[in-house]
Chain A
Amino acid sequence: DTAVSQTPKYLVTQMGNDKSIKCEQNLGHDTMYWYKQDSKKFLKIMFSYNNKELIINETVPNRFSPKSPDKAHLNLHINSLELGDSAVYFCASSTRFGYTFGSGTRLTVV
């Protein structure tokens, strides 16, 4: 029933590891996003995809690579994790009537 679902909810990993976060939406939206929320709660766009095509890439390090196998899924793969990557990552989808967010993935790099 969840409109935008992300897995996992929590991720604790060591520096240098590679990890993925998955996102799926069942709303039939064409556009999906990844946002990052830092420790001060500031939310910033990372990527957006429209119908599997990359539309926005906001000066995110190359270690972050989004992949959209179909318009209902947008995954985020992160290589060589660094301490500064610790944050909450939100997936979202949208129509012209607004945006719906997933419940977030709290990533902690130790």
Chain B
Amino acid sequence: NAGVTQTPKFRVLKTGQSMTLLCAQDMNHEYMYWYRQDPGMGLRLIHYSVGEGTTAKGEVPDGYNVSRLKKQNFLLGLESAAPSQTSVYFCASTGLAGGYGELFFGEGSRLTVL
């Protein structure tokens, strides 16, 4: 009963390094989302996907890229990490079939950029 799984859970990067966060869901959901959360703030949408092979920009997309090559996976990439990207990143998914669009979240990935 995995739901939404994010890897890695913690990562420390140096400025300019690159990395990829992986989000995997086993609920056959069509929609997937990447959010970031900074201290004292709510969640802000980075990028999202409405289906395999599609991606779209959210509120704060700059400095990030995403890919959805498989329906169950949504990757978030940082090509050249900056200290401003220090944050907690959450992946979420939801489906078309049934329900009212409740979001299912992963446990988060804590990224520190030095």
Partners in one complex: no
